[in-house]
Structure 1
Amino acid sequence: MTAAELTEDQDLRSHYAAIAAAIDRIVDGYQDQPSLEDMAAAANMSPFHFQRVFKRWAGISPKRFAQFVTLGHAKRLLDADGSVLDTALEVGLSGPSRLHDLFVACEAMTPGDYKAGAASLTVRWGLHDSPFGRALMAATPRGLCWLSFVIDGDERGAIATFLEEWGESRLVEDPAATAAIADRVFGGGAAASEGPEEAIPLVLRGTNFQIKVWEALLRIPVGRFVSYQDLARAVGRPEAPRAVGAAVGRNPISLIIPCHRVILKSGVVHNYRWGVCRKKALLAYEAARAAG
């Protein structure tokens, strides 16, 4: 990376909060098609600077990004996908370690395993900035075990939710411990990978059924959506889309395990643990980069 590219990359990351504010403005007002000036004002930038920063992050213009938020786009993409999940399940995982195509390695931990060793397990956690708002990430010595988003600026609420899930362990606030993974996840949108990277290790704590659903989510191609019914069929439970939906909702590692790629068969985007607006933003970002 050249000095100029490094400076621009650092400039991008310094504007995560501004990008997040602009994305909220786009998602909230997509039906009114907000102007470049309105979006720039939400980011507290000049229109020229905002356009440059946003395009460097998303790969497309803010106006083009807004087009990917619409219901019509979601319905068209869902209708066109057909058996995309079946194909993805056969192919498996591959690709560079970036937000739009993360390469991960999973390790399962049953509830019994966790209960037996919870007291001796150290989990380090920290809050990090991202273009989708503040994110809370946590890791055991074996890998990342938690990724959630702060809703409406309520950091205490995000921490409380995390504590409810992992409170039996020895918890240490240590943002430095999760900074490298946060940088790979949230810092990779602007620049292409310079080469193969090691897989991001994930520690999944859940029932066998939940883990099976989460592993299926990992195989949904970036920029694509599947319905709850299609996902249920893919995991061998076509009669139980509600149970599959509940497992999707319990996903402990948001974004990396892309539960946001599951929507209603009608194309309506709903039911995201960390906010429907954020889900729409994630889908629009991925669809935009895939199209670009």
Structure 2
Amino acid sequence: MTVPTVAELLQSACAELERAEVFCGHGTDNYWDEAVYLLRHVCSWPVDVDRSVLQQPIEREPQQQFEQLLARRIAERIPAPYLTGEAWFCGIPFNVDERVIIPRSPIAQLITAQFRPWLLQPPANVLDLCCGSGCIGIATAAAVPSAEVVLSDLSDAALAVAASNIERHDLAERVKINCGDLFAGLQGQQFELIVCNPPYVDAEDFATMPAEYRHEPTMALVSGDDGLDFTRRLLQQAPDHLTEQGLLICEVGNSAVALEEAFPDLALTWLEFEEGDGGVFVTDRDQLLAERHRRA
């Protein structure tokens, strides 16, 4: 029997993924990267493995393991990071499973820039609200070594994953966990920066999403008919937890249009990214207080 090279195995896998019309959107945007993601896990290759490996023959055992993962990826529509138990965000690996959504926010680009130019100085304290796996807050702690970070989420299950990532990256001294709905458990605490990637998918979009998204926790995705149930509460309560010059950065994805319609007078700056989708805004404490007063 002819032993395939790594490249041949990957090309064959790409053809299978394409025939099956699987959806790529959980860390990759094409079939080649999707196949590489699975094979790299099986072979324990580093992210920057040399491309010369493509011409090497693949041994039978890793080939079989890869084919088993590929079969599950196709038949069950399980996103690749759930099959490997690992996702990458800001160049950092994170533990993931079906208790948390898979990291993929364009907010990563803000983190690597230490939130410049929106903050003139790196933030001293940060709240990662709706933290899920903790990827935003932990990546912020890694990018800003002086920052104290709180990861907060309503889900105990998600926070267990976040705790494993704090331990994985040895950040327990600077990254703490809070369990509560919105700002519950954070009374009296104020932050220079609140970063939030909340549930924001509206009912219509959720009904038409690819099967891969059904593996992610619904409570982390869906937020009412227009996707804004959580965000409305956030905008109302956030100014009480921001310092005088504090900023709120929030992702609302496709619900951006609905948000502008619901809050026509609230000054929101919509951010543009070199990679990934938009739907991320920044606003400050003064603007949020003004909006609250208008609605009082």
TM range (shorter): under 0.3
Answer with 1 or 2: which has the greater Rg.
2
Structure with greater proportional helix content: 1
Q: Which has the higher contact order (CA 8 A, sep 6+)?
A: 1
TM-score (normalizing by structure 1): 0.25
TM-score (norm 2): 0.24
